[in-house]
Amino acid sequence: MNRQFDFLMPSVNFFGPGVIAKIGDRAKMLNMHKPLIVTTEGLSKIDNGPVKQTTAALEKAGVDYVVFTGVEPNPKIRNVQAGKKMYQDENCDSIITVGGGSAHDCGKGIGIVLTNGDDISKLAGIETLDNPLPPLMAVNTTAGTGSELTRHAVITNEKTHLKFVVVSWRNIPLVSFNDPMLMLDIPQDITAATGCDAFVQAIEPYVSVDHNPITDSQCKEAIQLIQTALPEVVANGHNVEARTKMVEAEMLAGMAFNNANLGYVHAMAHQLGGQYDAPHGVCCALLLTTVEEYNLIACPERFAELAKVMGYDTTGLTLYEAAQKSIDGMREMCKLVGIPASIKEIGAKPEDFEMMAKNALKDGNAFSNPRKGTVEDVVKLYQKAYDGIY
Ligand code: NAD
């Protein structure tokens, strides 16, 4: 247990149905005169969708804005550079990200290159930023990565196919908006993938070497919310109560990993996302059970506690039998919401495993994993996820 710890999150967080209406006034409070709205083309086209609701609230408050729609999933360096150019050409003074993790990370990336130097790949690592970003607010539309709250910016180098992370307290948005009404029309597969990402982000910090009492309670609450709400929102995206619970869970998980960090699931998933441009949540879900089964001997008590959190009666079981129940719970959730059975299905090739394993062990998320592995161990984990998780 990490007894001395820092705890970071945005200073203001708006949560609940309808909070998007507050964004105009908040932009004025922050002296935003012309924010660059950073989003995807798809989201910008939805009638009365998240972008239209954001711009309507800004117009009502008399705040000018420009919309940049060049965010791709797993945002690339070229997206960051195109956004920076628009920001400068249009004389913007601030940034509002509207979307899921890709929009938030791209917006953070734009802010980073505006004030910390043009080559963002050189800034990969922890606390590498010397200067503050322009004022940044994040309107979150998936539940989700937690990126609207976190100090991480995950960017893909399109030339090397490597995902890298710039981790800095300077990346944390000043204000986050989590309005479940903006999430009702997320397609079913994206709901499942992003919800599984939140599930993984509640589990990895719980068994991380950096966990602390606050993050522990956040993880437990998030896991219980996701267990009931995620299958419900996959079954019916317009279930407002379940969408609201998913937003609460993704915020709790985001706060937890922002402070207790993640592990090999994310370190390895970043390689799959970078190499094969696959959805992040699917990559994480495909690795979850394999990695946590491997981690089990590092902290069996923690996994046994997770089993109880998930509702298993562990009376009369040995420690390892109880711990194993938590892995059953993880596998069940991935299966219930339709995660595919193998990393084969996102294009993974065994000849890439060694290169990906070496890079995964260098990813910042690897250092907080409870079990310390070798390249050979990680290759075996990719192979196991390739052979099938169900
Ligand atoms: P995403 O942002 O890539 O969005 C996926 C798709 O869903 C996009 O096409 C988007 O336009 C669409 N979409 C988003 N919201 C919608 C809505 N309300 N209605 C309809 N469509 C909608 O997906 P994501 O999973 O949120 O983000 C993934 C990215 O975030 C990855 O690059 C991952 O590495 C990164 N990530 C970042 C952090 C962090 O803390 N910075 C944490 C985890 C993951």
3 lies in some domain:
no
Q: What is the rounded CA–CA span in Å between residue 289 and residue 335?
A: 11
Rounded to whole angstroms, how far apart are CA atoms 289 and 286?
A: 8
- In-domain check, residue 5: no
In a domain, 7, yes or no: no
Shared-domain flag, residues 106 and 244? no
Position of tokens 């203001």? 12
257 within a domain of the structure (yes/no): yes
196, 283 contact by CB (below 8 A): no
Please tell me the predicted confidence (pLDDT) of residue 318: 98
Ligand 1: does its nearest atom lie under 6 Å from the Cβ of 124? Answer: no
Q: Both 196 and 148 in a single domain?
A: no
Position 6 in a domain: no
87 and 226 co-located in one domain: no
- Residues 192, 159 share a domain: no
Could you report the per-residue pLDDT of 52-91, keeping only the tens digit for each? 999 999 999 999 999 999 999 999 999 999 999 999 999 9
> Ligand 1: which of 141, 156, 268, 270 to mutate, most ligand atoms within 8 Å of CB?
141
Query: Among 97, 147, 165, 183, which residue has the most ligand 1 atoms within 8 Å of its CB, making it the best to mutate?
Result: 147
Question: Does residue 37 carry a pLDDT above 70?
Answer: yes
Q: What is the pLDDT of residue 353?
A: 98
For residue 375, with 0-12 CB atoms within 10 Å meaning exposed, 13-18 middle and 19 or more buried, which class applies? middle
Write down which residue in 133, 153, 183 finishes a domain.
183
Q: Is the pLDDT of residue 341 over 60?
A: yes
Cβ–ligand 1 distance for 166 under 6 Å, the answer no
Report the run of H or E that residue 12 belongs to, with start and end: strand 12-15
Is there a contact between 171 and 108 (Cβ–Cβ < 8 Å)? yes
Is 156 found in the same domain as 248? Answer: no
Q: Residues 351, 222: one domain? A: yes
Q: By C-alpha distance, which of 206, 225, 342, 324 is closest to 276? A: 342
- Domain CATH for 127: 3.40.50.1970
Ligand 1 lined by 144 (C-beta under 6 Å) = yes
Atom of ligand 1 nearest to the CA of 165: 41
What is the rounded average pLDDT of the residues 235-240? 98
- Ligand 1 mean position, distance from CA 220 (Å): 23
Q: Are residues 225 and 96 in the same domain?
A: no
Is residue 2 domain-resident?
Answer: no
Ligand 1, atom 31, residue with closest C-alpha? 74
Residue where a domain stops, chosen among 157, 183, 209: 183
What per-residue confidence (pLDDT) applies to 3? 66
Residues 6+ apart with CB under 8 A from 209: 2, 368, 369, 370
Does ligand 1 have an atom closer than 6 angstroms to the CB of 218? no
Phi/psi at 126 (5° precision): -105, 130
* pTM beyond cutoff 0.85: yes
Q: What is the pLDDT of residue 11?
A: 83
Contact (CB, 8 A) for 88 and 80: no
Q: Is residue 204 very low, low, confident or very high in pLDDT (cuts 50, 70, 90)?
A: very high
- pLDDT attached to residue 8: 85
CB environment 104-118: b (16+ within 10 A), e (fewer): bbbbbbbbbbbebee
Structure tokens at 144: 């989700």
- Say yes or no: CB of residue 50 within 6 Å of ligand 1: yes
Please tell me the distance from the alpha carbon of residue 292 to that of residue 266, in angstroms, as a whole number: 12
Structure confidence at residue 4 (pLDDT): 75
99: left (phi over 0), alpha (psi -120 to 50) or beta: left
| Cα 234 to ligand 1 centre (Å) | 16
Q: How far apart are CA 225 and CA 199, in angstroms?
A: 10
pLDDT(2) > 60: no
Same domain, 196 and 147: no
End-to-end CA distance of the chain: 32
CA of 154 to the centre of ligand 1 (A): 11
- In short, whether 43's Cβ falls inside 6 Å of ligand 1 is yes
- Over residues 370-383, the mean pLDDT reads 98
Return the pLDDT at 5. 77
Read off the pLDDT of each residue in 167-190 and give the average, rounded to a whole number.
97
Tens of pLDDT along 134-151? Answer: 999 999 999 999 999 999
Q: What is the pLDDT of residue 179?
A: 97
Burial of 182 (0-12, 13-18, 19+ CB in 10 A): buried
Q: Is the CB of 39 under 6 A from ligand 1?
A: no
Query: Which CATH number belongs to the domain containing residue 340 in this structure?
Result: 1.20.1090.10
Q: How far apart are CA 21 and CA 215, in angstroms?
A: 30
Residues 195 and 156 placed together within one structural domain of the fold:
no
User: Residues 294-305: what's their mean pLDDT?
Assistant: 98
Q: Does residue 1 lie within any of the structural domains?
A: no
For residue 175, the one-letter residue type is V
Mean pLDDT value across residues 271-284: 97
For residues 317 and 252, what is the distance between their CA atoms, to the nearest angstrom?
30
Q: What's the number of domains the chain is made of?
A: 2
| 51 within some domain | yes
For residue 1, the model assigns a pLDDT of 60
End-of-domain residue from the set 160, 183, 206? 183
Considering the domain architecture, whether residues 153 and 260 belong to the same structural domain is answered as no
Q: Are residues 123 and 211 in the same domain?
A: no
For ligand 1, mutation pick of 8, 39, 40, 184 (most atoms within 8 Å of CB): 40
Q: Which residue has the tokens 């995902």?
A: 163
Whether 28 has a pLDDT exceeding 90, the answer reads yes
**Whether residues 211 and 236 fall in one domain:** yes
Of all atoms in ligand 1, which is nearest to the CA of residue 39? 11
* Residue nearest ligand 1's atom 7 by CA: 190
Residue 122: pLDDT above 90? Answer: yes
Proportion of the chain above pLDDT 90, given as a percent: 97
Written as six digits, the tokens of 231 are 């299958």
Distance, CA of 220 to CA of 318 (rounded, Å): 22
> Which residues constitute the domain of residue 164?
12-183
Strand 136-140 with 94-99, pairing: parallel
- Tell which residue, 381, 285, 280, has the closest CA to residue 339: 285
